[in-house]
Structure 1
Amino acid sequence: MKRKLVPDIVKSQELILVPEDTAVSTVSKLMAEKNIGAVLVVNHGNLVGIVTERDLNNKVLSKDIDPASIEVAQVMTRNPDTLPPDADASEALALMQSKHYRHLPITQGKRAVGIVSIRDLFKVAYEHLMEEVEFRDRMMRV
């Protein structure tokens, strides 16, 4: 069975969207408060970028830049790769593995409708493996 990103993987989520002029310190606090590793950046509702924990560390903290003095537009990854909601989990996993992504925006046209993380995909893969083990165990008992 192919599992679609929406609704099979990303069932319901509080999607955090911020404008480009948001201070990095604000985004960092949001990420900590919501316990998330990435935030999507929008301009008039359209996805323009993604900012991740890695971006904050590599582009701000490690360079001793004051997070309150810099806008997210200066550190985000612009025009990120995306997948549509009807893409399946294997497509997302292949793209994330080949590009070393931990988070991937899900878009409908230019509008962000979700975000899938490697952790989300790991959970689905784990559940699938456990189902196979249970099936094998049942078959061996027959």
Structure 2
Amino acid sequence: MDRKKFLVAPPETSVSEAARLMAKKNAGAVMVLEDKRLVGIFTERDAVIRVIAKGRDAQKTALAEVMTPDPRTVAPDETYGHALLIMFENGFRHAPVVENGLPIGIVSARNAMDPDLEEFVSEAHRRKYLKQHA
């Protein structure tokens, strides 16, 4: 799996500041780090559902209040197809790539679709078959 450039911010960063960074870098997510360790992820979807829809003040709301804590991660040796399947099964679109407890990249559903779409479909069918015949 390729290591995609990723954005990071500490938990006390305001949603407004994180959103500006995401817009500037055209990114859909920010990994929230504390002492270089991944403690959460904040995505465009979090901004809409947990901030805007709830009428929260983006300048006064810290990422720690609205991030997804302890997000599901993938290892750098896992395929895009595997990452897509994890995202599909768990209902999210961004997965941090973590090695030895440290974030080294991020994969989004959009980035992963092109390289391994065929593998994803094959793996999804294989898992469905195994569940039906278990």
TM-score normalised according to structure 1 size: 0.79
Aligned pairs for 1:63-74 (under 5 A) are: 63-74=54-65
- The reply on whether 1:50 has 2:41 as its aligned counterpart is yes
**Secondary structure of 1:113's match?**
strand
The C-alpha deviation readout for 1:5-25, integer Å capped at 9, x for no partner, is 2x3xx3xx4321100000110
Task: In structure 2, list runs of 5 or more residues that go unmatched.
Answer: 120-134
Structure 1 equivalent of residue 75 of structure 2: 84
- When the two chains are superposed, the root-mean-square deviation of aligned CA atoms in Å is 1.6
Q: Deviations over 1:88-132 (max 9, x none)?
A: 12211110110121100000122110000001111213698xxxx
**Aligned partners of 2:96 and 2:117: how far apart in 1?**
22
2:84 is equivalent to residue 93 of structure 1: yes
Contact 2:97 2:107 in 1 (8 A): yes
Change beyond 3 A, Cα 1:33–1:127: farther
How many correspondences in the alignment?
Answer: 119
Q: Structure 1 segments of 4 or more deviating over 3 A?
A: 125-128
Q: Label 1:87 to 1:125 Cα distance change in 2 as closer, same or farther (>3 A).
A: closer
Give TM-score scaled by structure 2 length.
0.83
Distance in 1 between the 2:19 and 2:59 partners?
10
Which structure 1 residue ranges, 5 or more long, are not aligned?
129-142
Deviation at 1:40, TM superposition (A): 0.2
